[in-house]
Amino acid sequence: MISAMGRLYLLFALVDLALLVIALIDCLSSEEYEIRALPKVAWVFIILLFSPIGPIVWFVAGRPQRETAARPQPWRPGDGFSERSRPRQVAPDDDPEFLRNLTRERRDDEEMLRRWEADLRRREEELRRRKSTDDSGEVQ
């Protein structure tokens, strides 16, 4: 049978292997920008080469800090909004300011169209007058 010392070594070897596997999976599944102190590749080598110290150092100094729910967090893009802080948007047909602007724009567009039509009529009339004076004063 295995002696007590052999069992202790076996237990330490299994703990070391479990620690190594857990640290390696945690390191590889972390985002590069979240990892502290060193790049991800350096942490992988430290975890693999310096077992059991490497995995322990990873959990102490390299692992991303997990934010707790007790601390209020600043809003970051992509986090979404809580229901209380969610900005309320109104549909365009329910927004009085939008409808006011729409009415004003339509009125301005109609006024511009009237001016263009009046200018066009004035130019056509002027062109007809020139043509009639050219036709009547023409010598053959």
Q: What is the pLDDT of residue 95?
A: 82
Rg, C-alpha atoms of the chain: 40
| pTM of this structure | 0.46
| Distance separating alpha carbons of residues 35 and 44, to the nearest angstrom | 12
Neighbours of 53 (CB within 10 A): 11
CA distances, 44 to each of 11, 18, 57, 97 (Å): 24, 15, 11, 58
pLDDT tens string, the chain, 140 residues long: the values are 678 888 889 999 999 999 999 999 999 998 888 888 899 999 999 999 998 899 999 999 888 877 655 555 666 666 665 656 666 677 877 888 888 898 899 999 999 999 999 999 999 999 999 988 887 765 54
